[in-house]
Structure 1
């Protein structure tokens, strides 16, 4: 995730970060510029259209549908940001629940070996979940002194959650924790799987294809028809104007595409590996 100072305007205006949409759109912008220049040349020099030509009235269409396009893009970016923010809230919940579970176990458990097990297995769940969401391979030994027999053909976070609950159940059977304490711990144990399921829902349910494809087509045909009407009033200045309009509209769509899946490896995705590392640090401090 990109760390930045939101008050530093000058840097953001004149600096192009590698995650900036400008870099990704340069090829398309050059093609749009060449296309606009070709349309301008044909209308002015080849067909020699006059100012009273009906082609000039095409700009009326852009005024009409431009408002609709702006609404679609606003909804698109808001929906994508909601998915990104929900993912951040879920991982914030995982941080708090991991802390709460560690705090309760630190007060309940007396055996140091039991504490040491949870000191490693609780952060282990966050680390496994982060790798699961980013489709990374999970090693057999996650932390020193704790061997996790992970079956790569089965759901990995569920395996770790099962290990945690089995250990809690063994402590209950050996009378190291009471029935009331088992009930107290259940909320945090259940929350781990709830967070995992919600994250998977975001990751595995993209924006419907027809909606995303329609917006791309809408932007494309909107931009491709811009030069026809505005040539009469702008001349060859229509080239930079059309390129800039394409840059703005296409950038909004690219930003929405990037943040709608917050568990990837893009520059603006959530730093879930870092959050998992913080969970490990906090749990070790508590236990």
Structure 2
């Protein structure tokens, strides 16, 4: 789990309550039809229901696998952001010659990089900017619709200033530029995942097959009792709905949900590490917020 406490079953039930209710009502309707004179003699072998269930299982397995791959890719990207953020400050500590301004430059980069992480997380989650980001952007001479990109541009401008002031050799400039490029690539990968919608056709087909299974399942059961038919015609499709909902939770890792990539916690870790490297006061861990999950 990504949270310090487990996600309650109530949270998950709230996500599927309308689907469960719709399936239950539809199962009641189909169960009632099974007792009408015209449909009472109709019998659909359970092998047909088993075939539909097998097809559903294959589709859900593919859907769940693809959703997990998106979630895991997002986590790998943010792992790279953690590493590259530390590398950037470590390179500056190593490459810049010792003088009175060295520590000032390192502190500027450490603060800006930590703010960049928070700004990127807030941009991906489409939630209001935190006070920390707002205060830093207010100090700049301009704002942008893409604040993470703006902050990386400020990185590039100051790196250019450093290369001119300290006459850094080409090898050191290339290494710093490569680190900045990796951060830019990570930002672009996150934006690609955020803006790429999972094909809607999968959900439509899965829901269609679930209701097909709900329709034919009661006609293959022995007519022992109407309540048993309704329960079985509800429980089996709901299990498939629950699996699909799990895939939906994972397919969008930047939607400010408990199952998201833990960007806030990672940003706070990066900030604490960079402040320590820059010999600045280490901030406390981020408190809980009402606008995003502390993950």
Out of 49, 64, 68, the position equivalent to 1:62 is 49
Where in structure 2 are there 5+ consecutive unaligned residues?
Answer: 279-295
Distance 1:176 1:235 in 2: 85
Where in structure 1 are there 5+ consecutive unaligned residues?
Answer: 6-11
Aligned to 1:86: 73
Distance 2:184 2:122 in 1: 15
Check conservation: 2:34, 2:218, Cα contact below 8 A.
Answer: no
Aligned to 1:47: 37
Aligned to 1:129: 120
Indicate whether 1:151 and 2:143 are aligned.
yes
Deviates more, 1:160-169 or 1:128-137: 128-137
Indicate whether 1:286 and 2:273 are aligned.
no
| 2:9 match: secondary structure | coil
| 2:148 match: secondary structure | helix
TM-score (norm: length of structure 2): 0.82
Check conservation: 1:99, 1:282, Cα contact below 8 A.
Answer: yes
Check conservation: 2:213, 2:237, Cα contact below 8 A.
Answer: no
Matches within 5 A, 1:67-78: 67-78=54-65
Aligned to 1:9: none
Distance 2:142 2:59 in 1: 44
**Distance apart, 1:48 and its partner CA:** 8.0
TM-score (norm: length of structure 1): 0.84
Distance 2:124 2:17 in 1: 31
Check conservation: 2:16, 2:245, Cα contact below 8 A.
Answer: no
| 1:270 match: secondary structure | coil
Structure 1 pair 212–57 and aligned structure 2 pair: CA distance change class (3 A)? closer
Indicate whether 1:16 and 2:3 are aligned.
no
| 2:208 match: secondary structure | helix
Matches within 5 A, 1:164-179: 164-175=155-166, 177-179=168-170
Check conservation: 1:140, 1:148, Cα contact below 8 A.
Answer: no
Check conservation: 1:40, 1:231, Cα contact below 8 A.
Answer: no
Distance 1:234 1:150 in 2: 71
Aligned to 2:221: 230
Out of 236, 248, 258, the position equivalent to 2:239 is 248
Distance 2:204 2:253 in 1: 20
Check conservation: 1:263, 1:269, Cα contact below 8 A.
Answer: yes
Aligned to 1:2: 3
**Distance apart, 1:108 and its partner CA:** 2.5
- Paired residues, what number? 272
Aligned to 2:85: 98
Deviates more, 1:73-82 or 1:180-189: 180-189
Indicate whether 1:113 and 2:104 are aligned.
yes
